[in-house]
Amino acid sequence: MSAAEFSEATATLLVSCDDCPGLVAALAQALFNQGANILHSDQHTDLAAGKFFQRIRFDDPELAGPDRKAAANRLEATVRTVGARYGMKWQLHFEKIPRRMAIFVSKTDHCLYDLLLRHRSGELRCEIPLIVSNHETLRSVAEQFDVPFRFFPVNAENKAAVEEEEIELLRAEDVDLVVMARYMQILSENFIGNFEERIINIHHSFLPAFAGGRPYHQAHERGVKLIGATAHYATGDLDEGPIIEQDVIHVSHRESVADLVRLGRDVERTVLSRAVRVHLESRILVHDNRTVVFA
């Protein structure tokens, strides 16, 4: 989706609930009564779990009118009414308001460069108010892209206090999404709880294989023929959060660990950027540590 396709009158609704007859009709009728025009609708029913998921992108002309706030309030009230009737969990995102994304990094730069270049080109529609790091190594990259850089040295003794500072900073900057672009720190449950389903991590392995800090070394020891990368939401269980995006490439016995690291970086970049993009475009619903990702 290009920047030109976004409109002040456009919004996206994500819903999930127990499956039952009439859900699609109820949501469509509610939006019709609001004066909205549905641009795209996609749905999924998990028959085994008995759960319904839907994404609806629509135009409501009043959202671009002189009384936008009142129109948004009326729309939210309409969705809330339908949601209460069917026990829905719902999210309503207005496309005129870009998400604000903070990027957390350590010393490795390939994912950071990729995100910043895609953002500059307009591929990722968001604002990037800051880059946070536990090292000074990538400050120059942030300066190249004119993004504020905040350095928080972390050790076992100060970790809890530093995370509180970071949380306060993210709140002050109205950050909607945290992206761990090879940030080599384990976030606490307290940190994650403040941004539930809003922290995306890139792991340099095709999870659930080779979790932890040295997956390429483990892959080399096992002589695998495929290596991959996994983007997932961070949870209190390390590398076990809901998976958003994955990909793999073929390798052979000829590759050294250094070769696997080099080849894997390309996969990491593309997997992370795709995961960030679908989050920014409100295409993901989470249920029972799994994701429904609408195309």
Could you give the residue numbers annotated as active site? 239
Helix, strand, coil share (%) of the chain residues, nearest 5: 35, 30, 35
Q: Which residue type occupies 190?
A: N
Question: CA dist 198 to 102, 146, 180, 181, 260, Å?
Answer: 11, 24, 11, 14, 29
The CA distance from 112 to 32, in Å, is: 42
Neighbours of 124 (CB within 10 A): 24
Strand order through the sheet with 243-250: 149-151, 126-133, 99-105, 177-180, 199-203, 226-233, 243-250
Q: Output b/e per residue, 75-113; b: 16+ Cβ within 10 A.
A: beebbeebbeebebebebbbbeeebbbbbbbbebbbbbe
The CA distance from 127 to 115, in Å, is: 12
Q: What are phi and psi of 200, to 5 degrees?
A: -105, 130
Quick check: 153 and 134 in contact, CB under 8 A? yes
Peptide linkage before 208 cis (omega within 30 of 0)? yes
Strands 177-180 and 99-105 turn out to be: parallel
What would the two tokens of residue 114 be?
A: 């990729």
